[in-house]
Amino acid sequence: MNGLGRLAVCLLAVCCFSGGVRGQVPGAPKNLSSASLEELMDIEVTSVSKKEQTLSKTGAAVFVIGQEDIRRSGASNVPDLLRMVPGVQVAQIASNQWAITIRGFNNLYSNKVLVLIDGRTVYVNSFAGVFWDQLDIAPENIERIEVIRGPGGTVWGANAVNGVINIITKSAADTKGGLVTASGGNRETDAVVAQYGGDAGSRGAYRVFGKYFNINKSTLQNGRPASDGWHGGGTGFRVDLGVSSRDTLSVQGEYRATNGGGETRAVLAGPPSSVALVNQPVDNDSGDILARWEHTFKDGSSTSLQFYDNTLSRYESGIHLTENSVDVEFEHHLAVGTRNDVVWGLGYRNIRGTEKPTESFAFSATPATRVDNLSSAFVQDEIRLGKSLSLTVGSKFEHNSYTGFEFEPSAQFVWQRTAKSSIWASASRAIRQPDRFDVGVNFPFGVVPVPGFGTGMVVISGSPTLHAEQLKDFEIGYRSQLSPRFSLDLTTFLSYYENLQTTEPGTPFVRLIGAAPLLVIPQYFGSKGNARNVGTEVSANWRITGAWKLAGGYSLLGMSTHAGADSGDTVFSNLPGDAPRHQVQVRSMVDLGKKFDWDASVKYVSALGGQNIPGYARVDSRLAWHVSRAWEFSVTGQNLTSDRHFEYRDVSGLFSSTAVTRTAFAKVTWKF
């Protein structure tokens, strides 16, 4: 049906069912509630998903990447999917490295965002960051990605400071049958996924899958070929069972191995001290297993009990890092009286991490093996104050091995103005607890000329006395389905940070290496940084016709950082230079008849002043042909308007960025 025809039908529907204009269309019912079954069958409907229903009641800035967004983005990895979320900064450093954050403080080792897959925390305790190369989930298996901007500490705990990225994979009941995808292109994403799912007995479903990919190396800033090519594979399963009319059980697990490379700066002690760029392999093995049991009581309340085990072994930058986490969480959701909707929970996590230098230049951590425990409890109560007003208050209470007891309270007001629009406001406190390296790292960072002595080696060391970084955050938001075809979401925030990590100078000393003196210029981590961020984020969806949808987003971020008066950190105030002030994105999704989709997106990211990265626009496009129910064929182009650009540059020179290049690939999907 062409656009005009569709419009005419819609206008007809308005006449039919608005109730205001009666009897103008012969045979039409006066309003929906008296429509016959046959008439109901003629009404065109929109599917507002569960997520959108719950979204309208949330007192936080939430963006959900749904299945249509995933499929039509053409993205083959999680970082590229996150580019569509306003307020999220995604900068690719190399083929296998990304700097990803929400609302500023971006770095390869960004540590203020919590990332979960099906409720399993995937940040690495040693540095509180995420190895994004290990988030290798076939896009076909992602149900949705919920991105919560702003603190989520009350429910999620330490490290959910600037936001939470919650990746939810599909239930095995939704992936029955076979799936094979294969893609290949000029540089990236030569990849194969093979999966099969079916009934597990008569009361559940399972899936098993395997995957392999190979990504070629890019080029360095000076045009030389980089060493960031990588390849890897994995295998996994998921089982979802109905165990009784009140109980469900989900078990899932995955193992993956990747091998790649990357250029690292090595500081050689000497003397004389010197700096060299070395290629180091990045070899990673990781596995996880998770089980969740959910029970619904007769009164409608429900509990869930979840257990997982994460194991990681990684060689990178001349070290061997291992980490094993065991985590148990219990949650109970119940109604108390007629006004209170309460969720409370308990959690315990045990993390055992080791760090062993495999090269003489590498950093070390003290102690080399560390076992940490994290115990937590939280309670949150959504109180209905009136028909359309609710207040949610709660706090997390945690005990960690570094700073002891911490609490993370929050309060959110939601005013449901109408069925389709709401206004909310929130105030919250969140913390980032220090990590293992913050406390115990010993890191040869660089070499500086020292008059009269030749050179000195700068060594950054952890401090056991660090405080938890703290955020006090205030937000207001507006969310409205302005019409059945247009929705708008606005958020403005004001965030005050204290105790942010700084690097403080120590007193130089001389160490003898054999008989030769080495001047060591020590620096220690401190907690003397402050910041104030303000910003606003807008996202909108506009379904222009049944066949054409536009989605857009804009984010503005103003950061100001300053180290305390007693701090000797001279570069802390440069942090805003790592964040783009403006990000704008428009995505267009067009159905070309029933057989073809054509999707395109433009994203503009303003300059990173501190890194000498000019503003850039990224244009991606995808054309898909649904040959039959079983077969789909698509071609995707990324970064179409530029041969190569850089998205992130580490000014300290610790790691080398490589170019993000124009990429094209084709993908075939077979379902059986």
Partner 1 sequence: MRSLFHSAILGSLLLLAAPAVVCPQTDEYQVKAGFVARFASFVDWSPEALGGAGVPFGICVLGRNPFGKALETFVDGKNVAGHGIQIRQLSDVRMAAGCEILFVSGSERLRFRFILDAVPGGVFTVGDAPDFIAQGGVANLWIDQGKVRVEINADAAKARNLKVSSRLMMLAKPQPAGQRE
Residues 347-376 interacting with partner 1 (rule: CB under 8 A): none
By the 8 A CB rule, do 654 and 278 touch?
Answer: no
- Closest among 604, 613, 91 to 100, alpha carbons compared: 91
Q: Give exposure, 524-547, as e/b (b: 16+ Cβ within 10 Å).
A: bbbbbbbbebebbbbbbbebebbb
By the 8 A CB rule, do 644 and 150 touch?
Answer: no
* Nearest distance from C-beta of residue 424 to partner 1, angstroms: 20
By CB under 8 A, tell whether 515 contacts partner 1: no
Q: How far apart, in whole angstroms, are the C-alpha atoms of residue 670 and residue 672? A: 7
* Nearest distance from C-beta of residue 35 to partner 1, angstroms: 6
Residue with tokens 């299945």: 67
Q: Give exposure, 90-99, as e/b (b: 16+ Cβ within 10 Å).
A: bbbbbbbbbb
By the 8 A CB rule, do 403 and 433 touch?
Answer: yes
Interface residues for partner 1 in 544-583 (CB under 8 A)? 544-546, 550, 552, 554
By the 8 A CB rule, do 592 and 598 touch?
Answer: yes
Beta carbon nearer to partner 1, 274 or 421: 421
* Nearest distance from C-beta of residue 82 to partner 1, angstroms: 18
Phi then psi dihedrals of residue 541, to 5 deg: -125, 135
By CB under 8 A, tell whether 202 contacts partner 1: yes
> CA 28, 30, 35: angle at the middle one, nearest 5?
70
Residue 84, judged by CB atoms within 10 A of its CB (0-12, 13-18, 19+), counts as: buried
By the 8 A CB rule, do 644 and 82 touch?
Answer: no
* Nearest distance from C-beta of residue 5 to partner 1, angstroms: 12
Beta carbon nearer to partner 1, 409 or 546: 546
Window of 8-16, 88-96, 100-108, 321-329 that interacts with partner 1 by CB under 8 A: 8-16
By the 8 A CB rule, do 542 and 486 touch?
Answer: yes
Site string for partner 1, 117-156 (x = CB under 8 A): ----------------------------------------
Phi then psi dihedrals of residue 339, to 5 deg: -110, -15
Interface residues for partner 1 in 583-602 (CB under 8 A)? 584-586, 602
* Nearest distance from C-beta of residue 291 to partner 1, angstroms: 15
Q: Which of 336, 482, 510, 592 binds partner 1 (CB under 8 A)?
A: 482
By CB under 8 A, tell whether 37 contacts partner 1: yes
Window of 318-326, 386-394, 425-433, 484-492 that interacts with partner 1 by CB under 8 A: 484-492
Q: Which of 66, 68, 116, 174 binds partner 1 (CB under 8 A)?
A: 174
Classify the phi-psi angles of 454: left when phi > 0, otherwise alpha if psi is within -120 to 50, otherwise beta: left
By CB under 8 A, tell whether 341 contacts partner 1: no
> CA 51, 112, 615: angle at the middle one, nearest 5?
85
By CB under 8 A, tell whether 491 contacts partner 1: no
Q: Which of 275, 619, 623, 668 binds partner 1 (CB under 8 A)?
A: 619
Q: Which of 21, 627, 630, 651 binds partner 1 (CB under 8 A)?
A: 630
Interface residues for partner 1 in 308-337 (CB under 8 A)? none
Site string for partner 1, 397-426 (x = CB under 8 A): ----------------------x-------
Distances (CA, A) of 595 to 2, 139, 549, 632, 634: 15, 21, 17, 9, 11
Output the DSSP codes for 327-368: EEEEEEEEEETTTEEEEEEEEEEEEEEEEEESSTTS-EESSS
Beta carbon nearer to partner 1, 520 or 608: 608
Q: Which of 27, 50, 387, 566 binds partner 1 (CB under 8 A)?
A: 50
* Nearest distance from C-beta of residue 590 to partner 1, angstroms: 14
The contacts of residue 290 (CB under 8 Å, 6+ apart) are 118, 119, 120, 250, 251, 252, 253, 306, 307, 308, 309
By CB under 8 A, tell whether 38 contacts partner 1: yes
Beta carbon nearer to partner 1, 67 or 324: 67
By CB under 8 A, tell whether 32 contacts partner 1: yes
Beta carbon nearer to partner 1, 237 or 397: 237
Q: Which of 277, 560, 641, 651 binds partner 1 (CB under 8 A)?
A: 641
Interface residues for partner 1 in 233-272 (CB under 8 A)? 240-242, 244-248
Phi then psi dihedrals of residue 140, to 5 deg: -65, -20
By CB under 8 A, tell whether 4 contacts partner 1: no
Q: Which of 24, 26, 27, 45 binds partner 1 (CB under 8 A)?
A: 45
Phi then psi dihedrals of residue 215, to 5 deg: -125, 130
By the 8 A CB rule, do 622 and 607 touch?
Answer: no
Beta carbon nearer to partner 1, 278 or 550: 550
Question: What H or E segment, with its residue span, contains residue 279?
Answer: strand 274-296
Q: Which of 129, 204, 261, 446 binds partner 1 (CB under 8 A)?
A: 204
Residue 48, SS3?
Answer: coil
Residue 48, both tokens: 């507002």
Beta carbon nearer to partner 1, 317 or 487: 487
Q: Which of 131, 213, 443, 616 binds partner 1 (CB under 8 A)?
A: 616
Q: Which of 48, 268, 289, 654 binds partner 1 (CB under 8 A)?
A: 48
Beta carbon nearer to partner 1, 33 or 338: 33
By CB under 8 A, tell whether 525 contacts partner 1: no
Beta bridge partners of 444: 459
The contacts of residue 370 (CB under 8 Å, 6+ apart) are 352, 353, 354, 436, 440
Site string for partner 1, 282-311 (x = CB under 8 A): --------------xxxxx-----------
Beta carbon nearer to partner 1, 50 or 566: 50
* Nearest distance from C-beta of residue 50 to partner 1, angstroms: 8
Window of 143-151, 206-214, 482-490, 499-507 that interacts with partner 1 by CB under 8 A: 482-490
Beta bridge partners of 538: 490, 554
Beta carbon nearer to partner 1, 200 or 450: 200
Phi then psi dihedrals of residue 232, to 5 deg: -175, 175
By CB under 8 A, tell whether 387 contacts partner 1: no
By CB under 8 A, tell whether 485 contacts partner 1: yes
Interface residues for partner 1 in 176-195 (CB under 8 A)? 176-177
Binding residue count for partner 1, defined by CB under 8 A: 75
Q: Which of 21, 43, 389, 651 binds partner 1 (CB under 8 A)?
A: 43
By CB under 8 A, tell whether 24 contacts partner 1: no
Q: Which of 171, 235, 375, 421 binds partner 1 (CB under 8 A)?
A: 171
Q: Which of 4, 26, 44, 418 binds partner 1 (CB under 8 A)?
A: 44
By CB under 8 A, tell whether 627 contacts partner 1: no
Q: Which of 116, 173, 534, 607 binds partner 1 (CB under 8 A)?
A: 173
Alpha helices by DSSP H, listed for 182-316, are none
User: Please, which contacts does 273-277 make with residues 24 or more away whose CB atoms are closer than 8 Å?
Assistant: 273/447, 273/455, 273/456, 273/457, 273/518, 274/447, 274/455, 275/446, 275/447, 277/656
Q: How far apart, in whole angstroms, are the C-alpha atoms of residue 550 and residue 547? A: 10
